[in-house]
Structure 1
Amino acid sequence: SLFNKIKLKLSEIPKNKILGVCYFDNFNQAMELTKEIVKLKPTCVELMDQNLLNLAKEIPIYADGIKKYIKGNPKAVLMVEFIDTDQSIYEKKIKDLEYLVLNQNKNNQFSFYSNLEEQKEVFEIRKAGLNILMSMKGDKKPVAFIEDCAVSLDHLADYTAQLKEIFKKYKTSGMFYAHASVGTLHIRPVLNMKSDEDIKNMRSISEESFEIVKNYKGSHSGEHGDGIVRSEFHEMMFGKKIVNAFEEIKDTFDSKNLLNPGKIVRPFKSNDRDLMRYKSGYQAQNISTHYDWSNWGQFTDAVEMCNNNGACRKLDSGVMCPSYRVTKEEKDLVRGRANTLRLALSNQLPEGSFASKEMYETMELCVSCKACQRECPMSVDMAKMKSEFLSHYYKKFSMRIKDRITSEMPRLIWLLKIIAPIFNKIKNLPLISSIVEKFGFAVERNMPEVQNQNTLREIYNDQNFSEKKVILFADTFNVNFENQNLIYSIKVLNKFGYQAIIPSFGKDKLDRPLCCGRTYISYGQLDKTSKELNRFNDYIINNNYFNLPVVGIEPSCLLTFNDEYQKLKNVNNREKIKNKFYLLEEFILEQIKNDNKVKTNKFDQNVLIHGHCHQKSQDRMKGLTNLLSELKINNKMIDSSCCGMAGSFGYDSKNYEVSKKMANLSLIPAINNSDEADFIIANGTSCRHQISDLSHKKGKHVSELLFKIFETVN
């Protein structure tokens, strides 16, 4: 309404730059030195304080960067960038900077980075400052209301010291980060915005902080603008005469008060709780849960971690959020789901909304990829939240036949196995397809064949006895649909001198094979999940297998032991289970590193990798890529989100089109455009099925590649 044309000037992105990272043993000294650093004419000086760095260490997506680029446990870090066409000039400046930092305090440290990729990685941590701060667990959060104040560098150290005294007075602390070079630090006091007392404290801290800024002839809005939190303090900053002028201008150009009412002139009160997320009397339900949410307080506190930052709305890199990338609908987004849960649990939606059909629709397209667990700066774990919701939902509503069949797959498959030869012949007949469709399965899908286990059992029983043993966690899917992958795995493990133990294949008297409970998790049957995991614990305890490594080949099953297994309340004797859990490639990599004389067959094919979502969420893709690099095999990771099959998600007739669209965003085009000779690794069973259904190529399990490499080697 105010602009109809804006002319911009573009500048070339500089290529000659260097980044100095200064680690300070004393926060106040960092603030004092800033004015001296600025005399070196850097392009920026950015601050991160100790509190921010400590929070970043706990966030999976930033933890590696902190470990790589932050030395020790500094009280403050200043990132100082220099740009110049003459390399010798910025190299001299970086040496001058190093002298300033190290000469100030013997406990200070210094690093510099000339590599542009490394500079980018360091700045990624700083750019994420706000999201890192908001990851603080519990009701107390760093709150923005004095975060935009600016003072001259001559007063910066005194200003920050006085603010810390104010925070201390109100029994809190603050977070300090951002633009030190211009004296605009983003400072956020830690307050509980559900608390009446802290709302009063917010008001008092505002008044006292703005008074200090005024005394230093600074500004209470250095960058972000005034908004509701600062507009009512204009008269303190500018005086009555200028505020009256603001009102005259507003009334002249916006006589109907349509543009941003309540801000700048005739403002709302900054502590008006009706304008806040947590209104007066806010209270959330404390529902019964299967998972332990005590790290956050309770389930609702974990839901409230979503601060609407919108990181889940990205459409390119990473995995999060697959459903949103297809539908572009807010409800199909981590943020949309979290907000809907929060509103329902705090009685801001109609009674009974939590376990309702409307909530089911909100959750329906969540594929439980777990990307939000890693890529969301708040680590909002929507996969677990969905299964908690479903556990309540199915107490009110009955399961569809398709969902009941799928959730009980580990039990039902052993019945289906009895009639496998008949089932495999008739599964694609029109009559069977019609029945399958009525149950809710997508008829467009190729139903997998149920395999007999004769060859697998022969290979298993033919193993030589060895003192070196490993438990091979034979999951339902590979045992019954693709058991050649288990055959490859046994043979590869044998090559390294290990005897593979498959529970239920030996003399352990199990009534049925062990199971991780993954299909139950997908449908909120968490009591049944706990029972399956307790069966695993009993097996380890009864056979005294405490020291045996557990190796799995299906990522979603094996990685259950690193995730849900650790959090479910009703898993017994967990503290007794000290076994290490490995994906096959991780275990083989460890063996190769312990024996650098391992012989291999030549493997000339290039390898294209589709990473399983759960591996990515737990940062477990490195085992595969490092193994292939160790074996001197050319490999490339496909930059893809979820394959779209997501266990049984893509087999659902309601989800089929969405599933296809997920796959066709990046995965299927990358595979179809790859070289015919490329070896495509997709370790997830459902990933391989999706690739087979939608492309002209086949995805293979890494066990097949390893078998080819070690097959004839003595």
Structure 2
Amino acid sequence: MAKTSKRHSRDVPAKTDPAIPGAPRARQTIEVGRLERALRKAVEGEVRFDPGSLALYANDASNFRQVPIGVVIPRTLDDVVATHRVCHRFGAPILNRGGGTSLSGETVNEAVVIDHSKYLTRIGRIDARRRLVTCETGVINEELNRHTGRHDLVFGPDPSSHSRCVIGGNIGNNSCGIHSVQSQLYGPGPRTSDNVHALEIVTYDGARFWVGVDEEKDLDHIIAKGGRKGEIYAALRDLRDRYADAIRAGFPSETQLPRRVSGYNLDELLPERGFNVARALVGTEGTCATALQAVLMLTPALLQRTLVVVEYDDLAEAGTDVMEMIERFKPIGLEALDDELIRDQQLQNMNVSDIKELPKLGGGAWLLVQFGADTAEESAATAHAFIDWLTSERGYERDRIVMAKSEQEGGTSEHLWAIRESGLGSTAFPPDGKDHWPGWEDSAVPPEKVGDYVRDLRKVMEKHGITGAMYGHFGQGCIHCRLSFDLRHADGLATYRAFLEEAADLVVAYGGSVSGEHGDGQQRAELLEKQYGPELLQAMREFKAIWDPGWKMNPGKVVDAYRLDENLKLGPDYNPPRPATKFAYAEDGGDFAHAALRCVGVGKCRVPRAVDTMCPSYQVTREEKHSTRGRARLLFEMLRGEVITDGWQSEEVADALDLCLACKGCTSDCPVNVDMPTYKAEFLHHHYKSPRRRRPRYAYAFGFIDQGARIASRMPEITNFVTHTPGLARIAKLVAGIDRRRPLPSFAPMTLQEWFRRRGGTGNPHGRPVVLFPDTFNNHLHTDVGVACVEAIEAAGWRVVMPEGHVCCGRPLYDYGFLDEAERYLHTVLDTLREHVRAGTPVVGMEPSCLAVFKDELGKLLPHDDDAARLTRNAYHFAEFFDAFDIEPPKLDGTALLWGHCHQRATGGMDADQRLLERMGLEVDNLKGGCCGLAGSWGFESGKYRISMDCGEQALLPAVREADPDTLVVADGFSCKTQIEDAGTGRRALHLAQVMALARQKQQGQVPDPPAP
């Protein structure tokens, strides 16, 4: 259970008179201790007032930071209602939060935060005939569509964060998404509000009821029935009647401006609209009431999709024909990218192979036009007709057009969409050396004006010296851009404000909206009067007061909001300490504080399915602190020193990092390359500098496993007897801090180095030399793998060089913060290999995690060592070596299930392994996502066994069990192979070199050993 807060009271802002525009905020004292105790008594779920939880929820994906009063993670909808009633009793503000990916500051506040995303994920009945589905608001957008997709229906709004954002966030922000064109043409409309049929809500004072759409005809009955709902409906009708003419004049229609999500949807209350209270609440960002459940309207899925990419000279030109494209061909997606976005991704090695698929004849922008249908033939036919129109009627050059098939048809269209979905992450810290931030990332204009608007917006940017890539939903006139705002200096903040005010004037002049998808929050709420004028802003103020007369629901957001330049995460007083570090942090200018700031909050690490590698422990626990984002936020707060006050000695940070598997998934999967394994090693290095702290026993047992293995290999039979005799093994595990349920590996009767020495060295003395690195695992434990690697390389005509004496990369040392020792190990490696790396001799690794040290940690610990750079340059994973030197492998028929070690995925990927197996003649299933769960020594540690197994069950272990008995299971990593065997799958995984040995045996007419035990 989380630690109880030691604070007895806290002052929070409180608006003294919500009826008066711009009324000042006084300070209200909240009795925090009593509030916490009352919540714990009333709520079945989790109540957290500890510093770690406050730090985790003080940030979202925006420029703003506000420390909450406490956090509630409800298990049931009744918990949410109970939280409101307790907070109402104490006068505590409330903030509802889902995925926490908001860019406008609406999901941070000095309030009790309610996180719906962990437990409130139930999906109810689907009414396929009426195209309706009911769900709780913590359901992830993509999970809902996976569920409804069985009926060939989807919930139309799908932001680029669809794999982790939740329906409650869609409702709060009035989200749209990449396929909002599809939702507009084939469904109810582009915005979430257009797709909401009913909401179950709870008001601040705890009243719980349903609100719907088309309730004009029932108004008298609802009001006459009385109660809190009747009272609210009567006040809403009165508000509507008083402001009806102003609303009609000030709210453009959806056909004029599809992406208006700014302010409150007062137009939904008009009689001609039907008095749609549910839709009026959508987009209020939790400032009026809390949504518990939603009845959502669905759209035909049109899952057979074809993508056409069209190149243009510049982004403004790309807007020329979008309206005619939509009217003639009805695409389901119409997105734009500019060349700066592509350049940023290329320089950061993001989506490298995908970008090569774009037509590139020197243009500066691309349109991604996607067509969907129920059949692939129909989708492709529309795409061909579109291309014919472009070339014949519009005069486009055919070389500037690419048609990509869907992934189901063996195409790359989904990969090309990845370029667009990577927009936010790739533009955050581009190689120009300037940090880029949100703020004007969301403006929208009528689609027919988008080209002219882009030209004029760039002029405003140039005037203020601001740069940034542009991309977005051109089919609906919405522009995304992350800009080079200076948020650290007074003059930079003055420019920030001046730009936003001028940009707001520009978008209003175009008849547009300051927010086109992400909501107003605090970021653009101050600008709403420019868009709506004082009368409609007063109407919105009164709308909020009807629902929330005490101004306690997410106060200071949307209406009478905080200024756009206060509560900043940075600001002119931002000056965290810059502690001396062991790693170089070259990508952050050597600044660990910038590394801790690197997370932009988009939450890709919070995807609950094992699609990517990161974050295995989050995939199991669904806990924010076990995501890359959560850990990064805690490190940021640790340096800031306001909530987490004990720096490197922080137990909150240590606790969050304890379940980090150091899998390196974030280093390649995270859109801004947050490097949590490095941060973890750095933290532990400093954490255990204190003489009061001693590392756990397993840190020594596994951190220095190479030393233990040296001793054990002198008497392997005795060692194996001790570690495999039940009573003795139990004692050995207890002493070493190993979980009692984890079997211990056996030591080989002979080390690989000894075998190599006894055979007289290489079997191919005249071949080109290659160094085979004798890692601890394959030297002492899996000698058979090492032998297979030697023989595979020699069979290819190369001369194997095996280093003599004890040499170790020190891989396990990083996991426990032994960085001084790790540096010494690396110097020993360089001393041993210096002659070879200076000669440019390839160095091949058998164990992916050990070779990854040479590709990753080596350069970070020894950034100015030329021999270290030479080793990194000449280091190859086993399959990479065969691929890089175009070595022909032996042939073998059959099928293979390929599983990549997490460290190899992060430092080279698995493409070379797949190509090599396919060149052998095998049909390969390259299994992706998740981690084996053992993660080197992590899964051996006491108390980690269950979660280790649960991590493996996300992807690897079920796939191995389901594989055909004749299918080869291929995994080079020692931990991956060990987990497969320990989990009782009944299978033995083979190293790629062992697969090649099987192939040679078959070619020579020998009967190979079966792959299973």
TM-score by length of 1: 0.90
**1:536-562 Cα distance to aligned partner (Å, 9 max, x none):** 322333468623221211001112211
How far has the Cα of 1:683 moved from its partner?
0.8
How far has the Cα of 1:653 moved from its partner?
1.1
Residues 24 and 74 in structure 1, CA contact (< 8 A), matched pair in contact too: yes
Q: Which residue of 2 aligns with 1:486?
A: 786
Q: Which residue of 2 aligns with 1:438?
A: 735
Q: Which residue of 1 aligns with 2:818?
A: 525
**1:399-446 Cα distance to aligned partner (Å, 9 max, x none):** 233211321222332223223332222223414522431331122222
C-alpha distance 472-545 of structure 1, shift in aligned 2 (>3 A): farther
For residue 77 of structure 1, give the secondary structure of its aligned residue in structure 2. strand
Mapped partners of 1:73, 1:31: distance in 2: 18
Residues 359 and 402 in structure 2, CA contact (< 8 A), matched pair in contact too: no
How far has the Cα of 1:503 moved from its partner?
0.4
For residue 22 of structure 1, give the secondary structure of its aligned residue in structure 2. strand
Mapped partners of 1:199, 1:121: distance in 2: 38
Amino acid at match of 1:483: T
Q: Which residue of 1 aligns with 2:627?
A: 333
Q: Which residue of 2 aligns with 1:610?
A: 899
For residue 634 of structure 1, give the secondary structure of its aligned residue in structure 2. strand
Residues 387 and 522 in structure 1, CA contact (< 8 A), matched pair in contact too: yes
Mapped partners of 1:170, 1:711: distance in 2: 70
**1:170-190 Cα distance to aligned partner (Å, 9 max, x none):** 222233211222222124432
Amino acid at match of 1:48: L
Amino acid at match of 2:757: R
Amino acid at match of 1:707: A
Once the two structures are overlaid, the 10-residue window that deviates more, 35-44 or 123-132, is: 35-44
Q: Which residue of 1 aligns with 2:474?
A: 180
Once the two structures are overlaid, the 10-residue window that deviates more, 332-341 or 90-99, is: 90-99
Q: Which residue of 2 aligns with 1:359?
A: 653
Tell whether 2:794 aligns with 1:498: no
**1:328-358 Cα distance to aligned partner (Å, 9 max, x none):** 2211111111000000012123433323333
Q: Which residue of 2 aligns with 1:706?
A: 996
Once the two structures are overlaid, the 10-residue window that deviates more, 540-549 or 338-347, is: 540-549
Once the two structures are overlaid, the 10-residue window that deviates more, 355-364 or 567-576, is: 567-576
C-alpha distance 236-470 of structure 1, shift in aligned 2 (>3 A): closer
How far has the Cα of 1:97 moved from its partner?
2.2
C-alpha distance 267-181 of structure 1, shift in aligned 2 (>3 A): same
2:487 to 189, 193, 197: 193
Q: Which residue of 1 aligns with 2:363?
A: 74
**1:191-247 Cα distance to aligned partner (Å, 9 max, x none):** 122232222222111221122223233332333333322222333222222222223
C-alpha distance 659-81 of structure 1, shift in aligned 2 (>3 A): closer
Amino acid at match of 2:713: K
Q: After superposition, where does 1:141-290 map in structure 2 within 5 Å? A: 141-153=435-447, 155-272=449-566, 275-290=567-582
Once the two structures are overlaid, the 10-residue window that deviates more, 32-41 or 434-443, is: 32-41
Amino acid at match of 2:581: T
2:854 to 558, 561, 577: 561
Once the two structures are overlaid, the 10-residue window that deviates more, 613-622 or 527-536, is: 527-536
How far has the Cα of 1:311 moved from its partner?
0.6
Mapped partners of 1:253, 1:354: distance in 2: 45
For residue 730 of structure 2, give the secondary structure of its aligned residue in structure 1. helix
Mapped partners of 1:682, 1:26: distance in 2: 46
Residues 246 and 265 in structure 1, CA contact (< 8 A), matched pair in contact too: yes
Q: Which residue of 1 aligns with 2:935?
A: 646
Amino acid at match of 2:841: L
Mapped partners of 2:554, 2:329: distance in 1: 38
Residues 307 and 413 in structure 2, CA contact (< 8 A), matched pair in contact too: yes
How far has the Cα of 1:73 moved from its partner?
5.4
For residue 395 of structure 1, give the secondary structure of its aligned residue in structure 2. coil
How far has the Cα of 1:32 moved from its partner?
4.2
Once the two structures are overlaid, the 10-residue window that deviates more, 207-216 or 256-265, is: 256-265
Residues 646 and 686 in structure 1, CA contact (< 8 A), matched pair in contact too: yes
How far has the Cα of 1:86 moved from its partner?
8.1
For residue 511 of structure 2, give the secondary structure of its aligned residue in structure 1. coil
For residue 677 of structure 1, give the secondary structure of its aligned residue in structure 2. coil
Q: Which residue of 1 aligns with 2:718?
A: 422
C-alpha distance 289-87 of structure 1, shift in aligned 2 (>3 A): closer
For residue 681 of structure 1, give the secondary structure of its aligned residue in structure 2. strand
Q: Which residue of 2 aligns with 1:470?
A: 770
How far has the Cα of 1:88 moved from its partner?
5.1
Tell whether 2:592 aligns with 1:292: no
Mapped partners of 1:671, 1:86: distance in 2: 36
RMSD of equivalent CA atoms: 2.8
For residue 472 of structure 1, give the secondary structure of its aligned residue in structure 2. strand
Residues 470 and 480 in structure 2, CA contact (< 8 A), matched pair in contact too: yes
For residue 817 of structure 2, give the secondary structure of its aligned residue in structure 1. coil
Mapped partners of 2:953, 2:871: distance in 1: 41
Residues 645 and 686 in structure 1, CA contact (< 8 A), matched pair in contact too: yes
Q: After superposition, where does 1:545-556 map in structure 2 within 5 Å? A: 546-556=839-849
How far has the Cα of 1:37 moved from its partner?
4.6
C-alpha distance 281-383 of structure 1, shift in aligned 2 (>3 A): same
Residues 42 and 80 in structure 1, CA contact (< 8 A), matched pair in contact too: no
> Percent identity over the alignment?
27
Mapped partners of 1:479, 1:433: distance in 2: 26
Ranges in structure 1 where 5+ consecutive residues have no aligned partner = 505-511
Residues 37 and 97 in structure 1, CA contact (< 8 A), matched pair in contact too: no
Residues 531 and 571 in structure 1, CA contact (< 8 A), matched pair in contact too: no
Tell whether 2:701 aligns with 1:405: yes
Tell whether 2:298 aligns with 1:10: yes
Tell whether 2:870 aligns with 1:573: no
**1:75-95 Cα distance to aligned partner (Å, 9 max, x none):** 221222345758655523222
For residue 229 of structure 1, give the secondary structure of its aligned residue in structure 2. coil
Residues 493 and 499 in structure 1, CA contact (< 8 A), matched pair in contact too: yes
Once the two structures are overlaid, the 10-residue window that deviates more, 541-550 or 213-222, is: 541-550
C-alpha distance 68-291 of structure 1, shift in aligned 2 (>3 A): farther
For residue 692 of structure 1, give the secondary structure of its aligned residue in structure 2. helix
How far has the Cα of 1:610 moved from its partner?
2.0
Amino acid at match of 2:832: Y
Residues 344 and 426 in structure 2, CA contact (< 8 A), matched pair in contact too: yes
Residues 300 and 345 in structure 1, CA contact (< 8 A), matched pair in contact too: yes
Tell whether 2:411 aligns with 1:122: no
How far has the Cα of 1:36 moved from its partner?
5.5
Mapped partners of 2:930, 2:476: distance in 1: 40
Mapped partners of 1:624, 1:10: distance in 2: 42
Mapped partners of 1:437, 1:289: distance in 2: 34
Mapped partners of 2:895, 2:379: distance in 1: 42
C-alpha distance 100-223 of structure 1, shift in aligned 2 (>3 A): farther
Tell whether 2:450 aligns with 1:450: no
How far has the Cα of 1:614 moved from its partner?
0.9
Mapped partners of 2:837, 2:336: distance in 1: 53
Tell whether 2:975 aligns with 1:678: no
Residues 534 and 572 in structure 1, CA contact (< 8 A), matched pair in contact too: no
Amino acid at match of 2:772: L
Amino acid at match of 1:27: L
Mapped partners of 1:641, 1:543: distance in 2: 36
Amino acid at match of 2:442: D
Residues 492 and 706 in structure 1, CA contact (< 8 A), matched pair in contact too: yes
Tell whether 2:675 aligns with 1:381: yes
Ranges in structure 2 where 5+ consecutive residues have no aligned partner = 1-200, 203-209, 213-293, 1005-1013
Q: Which residue of 1 aligns with 2:181?
A: none
Residues 603 and 629 in structure 2, CA contact (< 8 A), matched pair in contact too: yes
Amino acid at match of 1:632: G
For residue 48 of structure 1, give the secondary structure of its aligned residue in structure 2. strand
2:662 to 335, 348, 368: 368
Residues 341 and 354 in structure 1, CA contact (< 8 A), matched pair in contact too: no
Instruction: Give the number of aligned pairs.
Output: 698
